[in-house]
Amino acid sequence: MYTMPMMELRNVSDFFKGKTILVTGATGFLAKVFVEKILRVQPDIKKLYLLVRASDPYLATQRLHNEIFKKDLFRVVQDKWGADFGSFICNKVVAVAGDVSRDMFGLIDVKLSQEMLDDINIIVHSAASTNLDERFDVAMGTNTMGAFNVLNFAKSCRKIEIILHVSTAYVCGPGEGLVAEEPIHMGQTLNNSPRLLDINLEKHLIKEKLSELHAQNANEETITKTMKEFGMIRANLHGWQDTYSFTKAMGEMIMGNMKDNLHLIVTRPTMIVGTHSEPFPGWIEEVRTIDFLIAAYCKGTLTSFVGHSEIVLDTIPVDMVGSKLERISDLYKPYFLFQGIFDDKNAEKLRIATKGVPGMNKEFNFDPKAINWKDYMMNIHFPGLVKYSIRSKM
């Protein structure tokens, strides 16, 4: 995590009191956990705008109820409010139909847009395409141009205080040793190429490749396959291991270079796994990151996979941050054999600075050293994975 600049330290719950917050990618794994946390520990927020992909407000509201508030994750908040849970959500939460890949999120409700621009204090940008080999055009639209559109929207917000941009630790690319926690500069590459990375050129190449495919009357399957391969080629050319980390890195470049006077925090979690303790241990959604291989091993379809006995597998429980098996193994190999050690001095400074702040250790603990990892994996994560993901798919 790095900050630009560090916000004044205070009780976190108090900071969010009376604030209006926009969360992008609201139906995503990490965003759900953030939303639950806010509603549970600080119900006195003014408003929570949740941006979801939908063609109209009705469908956006349906997605929120079906994909967020009906989840077992919210049972603690539901128990707290009882019969009033529905009215509490209606009073605090607004479903926003939009898409971060479009200018001003493609909002068509003028009144709602104006209310958001007038009232929003905090933006949590969590929307992302997390498939490692996503189509290059899709990943660029969400991970790179999404950051650009969020930044432009924030600049139009009259009361904006801070933007929290959720990135990934793997924007650093493959490597060994201590990985410095530093901003990625515009045009920076990871392979010491004398030629700077040009985001506009990458956008042009995407447009050119799609035009070429359409001219050939390529079917959707061919277009998808070609654009996935093209993304990996462009990522590797500049030193990144996959399309996901490449497009997230470009998103960081845009955020850092174009933020002007906005207060920006970029957080770079590693591989996110199930909850450690809040709102209860073991909750996870779907099979994700390392769990593709764990699930395959549990089902007996994968008997072993490549690893290194002396390398730390860098994961983090979500409550502390929201094809073929051969293909999956190959895709995730850079993460399982990653030999870098992430520098977390900024997070450590924050942990030290918040010692003694009321409620921090109990409600906002984010120190992974406090976790008994063997106990967490064996008694919390694995059972949670089986209960919430593997068993539901069988």
Name the β-bridge partners of 50: 23, 95
Note the pLDDT of residue 330. Answer: 38
pLDDT in tens, 4-60: 444 444 466 778 889 999 999 988 877 888 898 889 888 999 999 999 999 899 999
Pairing of strands 339-342, 176-179: parallel
Gap between the Cα atoms of 36 and 266, Å rounded: 21
Q: Model confidence at 308, in pLDDT bands (50, 70, 90)? A: low
Sign of CA dihedral 54, 58, 64, 70: negative
The residue ranking higher by pLDDT, 54 or 300, is 54
pLDDT in tens, 237-246: 999 999 999 9
Gap between the Cα atoms of 305 and 329, Å rounded: 7
Note the pLDDT of residue 208. Answer: 98
* Residue spans of alpha helices (H) in the chain: 12-16, 29-41, 57-64, 75-81, 85-92, 110-119, 136-139, 145-156, 199-215, 220-238, 243-258, 291-299, 325-336, 345-353, 360-363, 373-375, 382-385, 391-393
Do the beta carbons of residue 251 and residue 241 sit within 8 Å? Answer: no
Q: Model confidence at 198, in pLDDT bands (50, 70, 90)? A: very high
> Hey, what domains does the chain have and what are their CATH numbers?
2-275+341-351 (3.40.50.720)
Q: Which residues are tagged catalytic?
A: 244, 248
Query: What global pTM score does this model have?
Result: 0.74
Do the beta carbons of residue 320 and residue 275 sit within 8 Å? Answer: no
Residue indicated by tokens 């929570």: 48
Q: Model confidence at 367, in pLDDT bands (50, 70, 90)? A: low
Q: Which residues contact 284 (CB under 8 A, 6 or more apart)?
A: 29, 273, 274, 275, 291, 318, 381, 384, 385, 388, 389
Note the pLDDT of residue 362. Answer: 54
Q: What percentage of the chain carries pLDDT values higher than 70?
A: 64
> In degrees, to the nearest 5, what angle opens at C-alpha 292 toward C-alphas 298 and 306?
85
Shortest CA distance to 147 belongs to which of 105, 97, 206, 210?
Answer: 105
- H/E stretch holding 23: strand 20-24
Gap between the Cα atoms of 112 and 117, Å rounded: 9
Q: Which residues contact 115 (CB under 8 A, 6 or more apart)?
A: none
Gap between the Cα atoms of 277 and 318, Å rounded: 10
Shortest CA distance to 121 belongs to which of 19, 268, 223?
Answer: 19
> In degrees, to the nearest 5, what angle opens at C-alpha 251 toward C-alphas 271 and 334?
35
Note the pLDDT of residue 128. Answer: 92
Gap between the Cα atoms of 46 and 122, Å rounded: 11
Note the pLDDT of residue 279. Answer: 55
Shortest CA distance to 130 belongs to which of 306, 283, 312, 335?
Answer: 335
Q: Model confidence at 315, in pLDDT bands (50, 70, 90)? A: low
Sign of CA dihedral 354, 360, 361, 364: negative
pLDDT in tens, 330-361: 344 444 444 544 455 565 555 555 555 555 55
